[in-house]
Amino acid sequence: MRTEDVIIAAHVKEKALSMMGSTADPEEIARSRNQNKLVFTVHRHATKGEIRKAAEELLGVKVIKVNTFQAKDGKRAIVKLHPSSHAEAIREKIGAF
């Protein structure tokens, strides 16, 4: 599968944003401060290795871990970034809210 076809879109919902630490709620900030994760909608046949490679190549980050799950509207991947990469900066780079 081509790298460009793996990641379909950034998943921008309240829970996904809280994983980046970008919420106004002080309790949420305390719980999610160091998670440094991004959530993406990915191709349904993409493997964790393909998702890792795509994130590293397309976003220029180092990925520590990839978790995937099936949602009603498609497959999602939670990508945990290396501490040297900041989810907030990547979110701004890709234009996610």
Q: State the pLDDT at residue 88.
A: 79
User: What residue type is 92 in one-letter code?
Assistant: E
DSSP per-residue letters across 16-69: HHHHHT--S-HHHHHHHTT--EEEEEE-TT--HHHHHHHHHHHH---EEEEEEE
pLDDT digits (tens, 9 = 90+) for 20-75: 554 445 555 455 555 888 999 999 999 999 999 999 999 999 999 999 999 998 99
User: Using the 8-state DSSP alphabet, how is residue 97 labeled?
Assistant: -
- The whole-model pTM stands at 0.77
pLDDT for 44: 95
Architecture of domain 3-94: 2-Layer Sandwich (3.30)
Quick one: pLDDT at residue 13?
A: 66
